Chain A
Amino acid sequence: MDFIEKIGRLDRRIIFLTVALAVILPLFFPLGLPIEVTPPVQQLYDVIEGLSEGSVVMMSIDYDPSGAPELQPATLSILRHCFRRDLKVLMLGLWAPGVPLGVQALDEVGVGEFNREYGVDFVNFGYKPGGAVTLVNLGRDIHDVCRQDIYGTSVEELPMMDDVKAANDIGLVLSMSMGVPGSDQWIWYYHARYQGNLATAQTAIGAPRYYQYLQTGQLVGLVGGMKGSAEYERLVDHMGLATTGMDSQSVAHLLIIGFVILGNIVYWAEKRRKA
Chain B
Amino acid sequence: MRLQIPLAIILIMGLFTIVTSFVPAKPIADLNQTFRNWYIGIITFFIFLGTFNLVRVNGERIKTKARDWQYSIILIAALGVMLFAGFFKGRASLDEGSPFMYLYFNVQFPLEATMYSLLAFFVTSASFRAFRARNTQALVLLLAAVLIMLGRVPVGTSIWKGFPDVTEWIMSYPNAAAKRGIRLGIDLGLISMALRMILGIERSYMQ
Which of A18, A137, A230, A251 is within 8 Å of B155, CB to CB?
Answer: A251
Whole-angstrom distance between the alpha carbons of A267 and B156 in the complex? Answer: 26
Of all chain B residues, the one with the shortest Cβ separation from A204 is B152
Within 8 A of B (CB), among A36-53: 36, 38-40
Is B142 positioned at the interface, with any CB of A under 8 Å from its CB?
A: yes
Find out whether the CB atom of B127 lies under 8 angstroms from the CB atom of A259: yes
Chain A residue contacts of B128, Cβ below 8 A: 10, 15, 259-260, 262-263
Find out whether the CB atom of A253 lies under 8 angstroms from the CB atom of B44: no
Whole-angstrom distance between the alpha carbons of A267 and B128 in the complex? Answer: 10
Find out whether the CB atom of B124 lies under 8 angstroms from the CB atom of A69: no
A120-155 vs B, Cβ < 8 Å mask (1 yes, 0 no): 000000000111011011000000000000111000
Which of A96, A150, A250 is within 8 Å of B154, CB to CB?
Answer: A250
Is A275 positioned at the interface, with any CB of B under 8 Å from its CB?
A: no
Known contacts: A38-B164, A66-B116, A100-B105. The answer to whether A227 contacts B153 by CB under 8 A is yes
Is A68 positioned at the interface, with any CB of B under 8 Å from its CB?
A: yes
Across the A-B interface, give the 9 residue pairs with the lowest CB-CB distance, nearest first: A33-B154, A250-B155, A66-B116, A130-B40, A65-B112, A259-B128, A66-B112, A65-B109, A250-B153
Known: A100-B104, A215-B176, A255-B124. 18 other contacts (CB 8 A): A15-B121, A15-B125, A19-B124, A23-B120, A34-B157, A34-B158, A35-B154, A36-B157, A69-B113, A100-B101, A100-B105, A151-B94, A152-B91, A208-B179, A212-B180, A256-B123, A256-B124, A263-B127
Whole-angstrom distance between the Cβ of A98 and the nearest chain B Cβ = 11
- Write the residues of chain B forming the contact surface with A, with a CB cutoff of 8 angstroms: 33, 36-37, 39-40, 43-44, 47, 91, 94, 96, 100-101, 104-105, 108-113, 115-117, 120-121, 123-125, 127-134, 142, 145-146, 149-150, 152-158, 161, 164, 168, 171-172, 175-176, 179-180, 183
Q: List 26 A-B contacts (CB under 8 A).
A: A15-B121, A23-B120, A33-B154, A34-B158, A38-B164, A65-B104, A107-B96, A129-B44, A129-B47, A130-B40, A133-B43, A207-B171, A208-B175, A211-B172, A211-B176, A212-B180, A227-B152, A230-B154, A253-B150, A253-B153, A253-B156, A256-B123, A256-B124, A263-B128, A263-B132, A267-B133
Chain B residue contacts of A67, Cβ below 8 A: 116
Chain A residue contacts of B145, Cβ below 8 A: 260
Whole-angstrom distance between the alpha carbons of A104 and B33 in the complex? Answer: 34
Chain B residue contacts of A152, Cβ below 8 A: 91
Whole-angstrom distance between the Cβ of B148 and the nearest chain A Cβ = 9
Is A16 positioned at the interface, with any CB of B under 8 Å from its CB?
A: yes
Of all chain B residues, the one with the shortest Cβ separation from A16 is B121
Whole-angstrom distance between the Cβ of B26 and the nearest chain A Cβ = 14
Whole-angstrom distance between the alpha carbons of A130 and B40 in the complex? Answer: 5
Is A209 positioned at the interface, with any CB of B under 8 Å from its CB?
A: yes
Whole-angstrom distance between the alpha carbons of A224 and B101 in the complex? Answer: 28
Is A6 positioned at the interface, with any CB of B under 8 Å from its CB?
A: no
Known contacts: A68-B109, A212-B176. The answer to whether A260 contacts B154 by CB under 8 A is no
Which of A36, A151, A225 is within 8 Å of B91, CB to CB?
Answer: A151
Find out whether the CB atom of B40 lies under 8 angstroms from the CB atom of A36: no
Whole-angstrom distance between the alpha carbons of A243 and B118 in the complex? Answer: 21
Find out whether the CB atom of A249 lies under 8 angstroms from the CB atom of B94: no
Whole-angstrom distance between the Cβ of A246 and the nearest chain B Cβ = 5
Whole-angstrom distance between the Cβ of B130 and the nearest chain A Cβ = 8
Of all chain A residues, the one with the shortest Cβ separation from B138 is A264
Whole-angstrom distance between the alpha carbons of A130 and B44 in the complex? Answer: 7
Find out whether the CB atom of B171 lies under 8 angstroms from the CB atom of A211: yes
A6-19 vs B, Cβ < 8 Å mask (1 yes, 0 no): 00001010011011
Of all chain B residues, the one with the shortest Cβ separation from A67 is B116
Whole-angstrom distance between the alpha carbons of A249 and B154 in the complex? Answer: 9
Whole-angstrom distance between the Cβ of B32 and the nearest chain A Cβ = 9
Find out whether the CB atom of B175 lies under 8 angstroms from the CB atom of A134: no
Whole-angstrom distance between the Cβ of A230 and the nearest chain B Cβ = 8
Chain B residue contacts of A134, Cβ below 8 A: 40
Of all chain A residues, the one with the shortest Cβ separation from B47 is A129
Known contacts: A15-B128, A211-B179, A256-B149. The answer to whether A133 contacts B117 by CB under 8 A is no
Is A103 positioned at the interface, with any CB of B under 8 Å from its CB?
A: yes
Known contacts: A129-B44, A249-B153. The answer to whether A38 contacts B108 by CB under 8 A is no
Chain A residue contacts of B108, Cβ below 8 A: 65, 97
Known contacts: A68-B113, A212-B179. The answer to whether A263 contacts B131 by CB under 8 A is yes
